[in-house]
Amino acid sequence: MFSKKWPVLFGVMLSCLISSYVLCIYTGVFANSKLPVAIYGILGICFIIFLGLYNIRLKIYGFAMGSAHGWLVAHIYIGVFTVFVIIIHANCNISGLISIITFILFLVVVLSGIIGLLIYKSVPLSLSKYGRDVLSANEIKKRITKYQEELGTSITEMTTDSRKFYEKYLKSVFKAKRIKFRYLFMLETEIINRQTMKFGKDMNNLPEKEIYVMELFINHIVEIEKLRFVLAKTKLIRAWLNIHLPLTGAMVVFVIVHTISTVYF
Amino acid sequence: MNTEDIRNLLTSSIFSNIDRRKLEEVIKDCEVKGFNNGDYIFRRDEYGDVCGVILSGMVRVEIPKKISAFTNNKILLQKGDLCGEIALLSGHQRIADVIGFMQPLRVLFIPKDVLHKLTDTFPLVKDRIDQRYRERVLFSFLRNLPIFKDIDDAFLKELVLKATIHTYRKNETIFRHGDKADGLYFIRFGEVKIYEKEKAGKEEVLAFLKEQQYFGEMAFFGSKRVRTANTVASCRTELVKIPADYFQIMLQSRPDIKRVIERIVEQREDRNVQAHTDDSLKKTLSTVLDSGVEQDSYLILIDLSKCMHCDNCVKACAAMHRGYSRLTRRGMKLNNIILIPTSCRLCDDPTCMSKCPTNSIVKDLSGEIYHKDTCIGCGMCERNCPYGNITMYELPASASKKWSGGNHSADNGDSKETNMPGKRAGTCDKCKGRKYYACVYNCPVGAVRRVDPEEFFTLITTIG
């Protein structure tokens, strides 16, 4: 995910930042003037604006604005660097309600960013283990509906034994509409085992002719479960974005309020 | 076509001494065109299904210096000469520009089907065209091979006399394990798969060779002088064969060539040992070759260990292609990590194109295949694509309204309501005319890549 130039650039920028801070402390500029604090603040705002532009870049496909991957790498490095800029800007002296809320929001956004990075790394790995095709959420939903429709017609033709078997083991899975939270913490193999193991014994009590039909039925339900597993994982990324983006928005609002209040008062 | 044109045609070296009446019958639908000096008759890099006979005047053939086997890369052709036949017979792009040089210039254009009819009707014409093709193609081809780079012209000319050209259809066997070694083969164009059969009858792929590579040399370094593997053409392939007896003379008289070939034999023996022992490499090579990816000019790969299913690649592709994405993220998977999505393989002889009822599929100068707006969404190409790489797309309402029935109005905004199709065929056009591939450029985690198939094959051979 990271190209080599970024760690080098990050190192150089961080060295310059820390050196400038040490210089300010050593010369006593921080104690005598508010200018360095303001400069670090402006620098922080510029970086926050840049970080916000990443989301806009992702939605613009037609213009040569640099690759999305390059933007994400820059987003991560600049994000981490901004943490240092803001800490130096605060200079371990955060006073006033707005400043405190802004700083806390900033830390929460950074934390959600770190969680996002972990999700970005872990979700593809868990999905790629089984070599599945890459499907969009809509495609997954369509496939699930298709399987459900196919199975729906055969439910009406079931004998009493099969119907009982269906009601006992399969109905809850088949009819489920919501993606359950448990999918996030399970491996795909576990889902398959869970579905196939629990009804093994009762399956033998079915009429011989219907065992084959029920096996097909179960295979379809396992397939639906697998698709729900993928859907849950992809929804996790979307859910995370739904948290990270509003938090960022709230932080930007407080940064603006903080800047205005600092300038005027 | 007037009487003088016919007379000129019959005095040409290709068509002399044949029945005039029969000839007139066969070529009755052929077109004769006049050209001025400097006019282009054929352009380099075009795919041509037509060749020309010069009825009067002269033309200049300009071959790029890097591929020209002659000191002078500009050749003059005169009345009675054949031009443009190499691309037609080989099915490959034209290698030279043919430009009008001396007026009055009149050229008879013979389409592929008429040429086939001509060669069927007049075996003499077939022999002459084959002879001409051999003379023109072989010297240039052999001279450009790295192995013969420093060889003198006299030796090469002798080699041209001995060498023969053979064309193979897709999946046609070239030789089998245990066959007597009859010569050394050079690939002029196309691809060759070298494999062995396991006891269970399964194929074990040893190597995959492309243009300018050679094979069949290993038999000459063994004691039995028999083939040690099976070879089959992976697509339409043209081979240049140097007969066994002359190859042996060549090895004895040219120690420099012998040394190069010995080195290659050693490398191939090592690789064969690796291929025999490394199961994953065998499996990967077989899977990759079966999917035809080697025909692709640039291969799209998705690294599944990075892909987070954000759909940005698909959205970007749709944004670039009037609202419908051409990227289908399904296809062959290697070790569950690399997904090779179904994208056009740019076949040399595309079956989709030949069977399209509205001629909506076009192969352009660069060999790219794309669908024109005349597509009626019948799905014939989807059914005929051997790799399942054509998908029928539901047209978005906005795009359907602008469908023009072939006038490209959807592009220029000049819309006209007609009985529009609800679907149309589409395949990855490799973001033709754009500076970057939309899917690659817009993937935030760098999971989508475009790679050269040769690099890809080297990579999978290295990593197994």
Contacts of A68 in chain B (CB under 8 A): 312, 441-444
Is the per-residue pLDDT at A221 higher than 90?
Answer: no
The confidence score (pLDDT) of residue B459 equals 61
Of A115-119, B59-63, B148-152, the range with the lowest mean pLDDT is: B148-152
Residue from A143, A95, A117, A120 nearest A258 by CA: A95
Q: Return d(Cα B356, Cα B336) in angstroms, integer.
A: 35
Question: Tokens 């050269």 sit at which residue?
Answer: B452
Of A42-46, B29-33, B169-173, B405-409, the range with the lowest mean pLDDT is: B405-409
Interface of chain A toward chain B, CB-CB under 8 angstroms: 1, 58, 61-62, 64, 67-69, 71-72, 119-120, 123-125, 127-131, 133-137, 230, 233-234, 237
Nearest CA in chain B to A118: B308
Question: Tokens 């191939």 sit at which residue?
Answer: B268
Question: Tokens 């597509």 sit at which residue?
Answer: B375
Most A CBs within 10 A among B310, B437, B440, hence the mutation to make, goes to: B310
Which run of H or of E encompasses B264?
A: helix B255-277
Query: E-strand spans in B347-428?
Result: 361-363, 369-371, 391-394, 423-426
Percentage of residues in chain B with pLDDT exceeding 70?
77
The confidence score (pLDDT) of residue A109 equals 93
User: b/e string for A140-172 if b means 16 or more Cβ within 10 A?
Assistant: beebbeebeeebeeeeeebeeebeebbeebbee
The confidence score (pLDDT) of residue B145 equals 77
Q: Return d(Cα A154, Cα A163) in angstroms, integer.
A: 10
The confidence score (pLDDT) of residue B404 equals 43
Read off the pLDDT of residues B85-137 as tens digits, 9 standing for 90 and up: 887 777 667 778 899 988 888 899 988 878 888 888 888 888 888 888 777 77
Contacts of B441 in chain A (CB under 8 A): 67-68
Beta-carbon separation of A233 and B309 below 8 A: yes
The total of other beta-carbon atoms located within 10 Å of residue B199's CB is 5
Per the model's pLDDT, the better-predicted residue between A55 and A211 turns out to be A55
The confidence score (pLDDT) of residue A19 equals 92
Residue from A65, A77, A114, A53 nearest A3 by CA: A77
- Which amino acid belongs to residue B103? Q
Beta bridge partners of B193: B208, B232
Contacts of B300 in chain A (CB under 8 A): none
Beta-carbon separation of B306 and A124 below 8 A: yes
Mean pLDDT rounded to a whole number for chain A: 80
Read off the pLDDT of residues A179-197 as tens digits, 9 standing for 90 and up: 566 666 555 555 555 555 5
Beta-carbon separation of A130 and B310 below 8 A: no
The confidence score (pLDDT) of residue A250 equals 92
Contacts of A61 in chain B (CB under 8 A): 315-316, 319-320, 438, 442
Dihedral class, residue A92 (left if φ above 0, else alpha if ψ from -120 to 50, else beta):
left
Is the per-residue pLDDT at B400 higher than 70?
Answer: no
The confidence score (pLDDT) of residue B252 equals 83
The confidence score (pLDDT) of residue A191 equals 55
Question: Taken in order A96, A98, A100, A102, is the CA torsion positive or negative?
Answer: negative
Question: Tokens 């005929």 sit at which residue?
Answer: B384
Per-residue tokens: A37:
């604090």
Beta-carbon separation of B443 and A135 below 8 A: no
Q: How far is A249 from chain B (nearest CA, A)?
A: 21
Read off the pLDDT of residues A122-181 as tens digits, 9 standing for 90 and up: 888 777 766 567 777 777 778 878 777 777 766 666 667 777 777 776 676 666 666 566
Per the model's pLDDT, the better-predicted residue between B309 and B370 turns out to be B309
Contacts of A120 in chain B (CB under 8 A): 308, 445
Per the model's pLDDT, the better-predicted residue between A68 and A225 turns out to be A68
Contacts of B437 in chain A (CB under 8 A): none
Q: How far is A30 from chain B (nearest CA, A)?
A: 40
Percentage of residues in chain B with pLDDT exceeding 90?
1
User: Averaging pLDDT over each range in B142-151, B281-290, B389-398, which range is the top one?
Assistant: B142-151
Question: Taken in order B254, B259, B262, B264, is the CA torsion positive or negative?
Answer: negative
Per-residue tokens: B108:
């008879």
Q: How far is B433 from chain A (nearest CA, A)?
A: 13
Per-residue tokens: B372:
């024109």
8 Å CB contact between B90 and B189: yes
Mean pLDDT calculated for residue range B79-83: 86
Is the per-residue pLDDT at B227 higher than 60?
Answer: yes
Exposed/middle/buried for residue A131 (C-beta within 10 Å: 0-12, 13-18, 19+) = middle
Residue A199 pLDDT class (50, 70, 90 cuts): low
Beta-carbon separation of A69 and B436 below 8 A: no
Question: Tokens 């994405």 sit at which residue?
Answer: B325
Per the model's pLDDT, the better-predicted residue between B222 and B192 turns out to be B192
Q: How far is A71 from chain B (nearest CA, A)?
A: 7
Residue A223 pLDDT class (50, 70, 90 cuts): confident
Contacts of B342 in chain A (CB under 8 A): none
Beta-carbon separation of A128 and B314 below 8 A: no
Nearest CA in chain B to A75: B444
8 Å CB contact between B369 and B353: yes
Q: Find all residues with CB under 8 Å of B57, minimum gap 6, and list them.
A: B35, B78, B79, B100, B101, B102, B103, B104, B105, B106
The confidence score (pLDDT) of residue B417 equals 41
Per the model's pLDDT, the better-predicted residue between B328 and A23 turns out to be A23
Q: Return d(Cα A264, Cα A5) in angstroms, integer.
A: 41
Is the per-residue pLDDT at B408 higher than 50?
Answer: no
Interface of chain B toward chain A, CB-CB under 8 angstroms: 302, 304-312, 314-316, 319-320, 329-331, 333, 336-337, 339, 435-436, 438, 440-447
Q: How far is B321 from chain A (nearest CA, A)?
A: 11
Q: How far is A238 from chain B (nearest CA, A)?
A: 8
Q: Find all residues with CB under 8 Å of A204, minimum gap 6, and list them.
A: A211
Residue B348 pLDDT class (50, 70, 90 cuts): low
Mean pLDDT calculated for residue range B34-45: 87
Q: Find all residues with CB under 8 Å of B83, minimum gap 6, and list them.
A: B41, B42, B51, B52, B53, B54, B59, B61, B77, B98, B107
Contacts of A137 in chain B (CB under 8 A): 311
> How many contacts does A have with B, using Cβ atoms within 8 A?
86
Q: Return d(Cα A233, Cα A227) in angstroms, integer.
A: 10
Read off the pLDDT of residues B414-444 as tens digits, 9 standing for 90 and up: 334 444 556 777 777 777 777 788 888 999 8
Beta-carbon separation of A61 and B444 below 8 A: no
Residue from A110, A82, A73 nearest A17 by CA: A82
Of B75-89, B132-146, B152-166, the range with the lowest mean pLDDT is: B132-146
Q: Find all residues with CB under 8 Å of B48, minimum gap 6, and list them.
A: B42, B84, B87, B88, B94
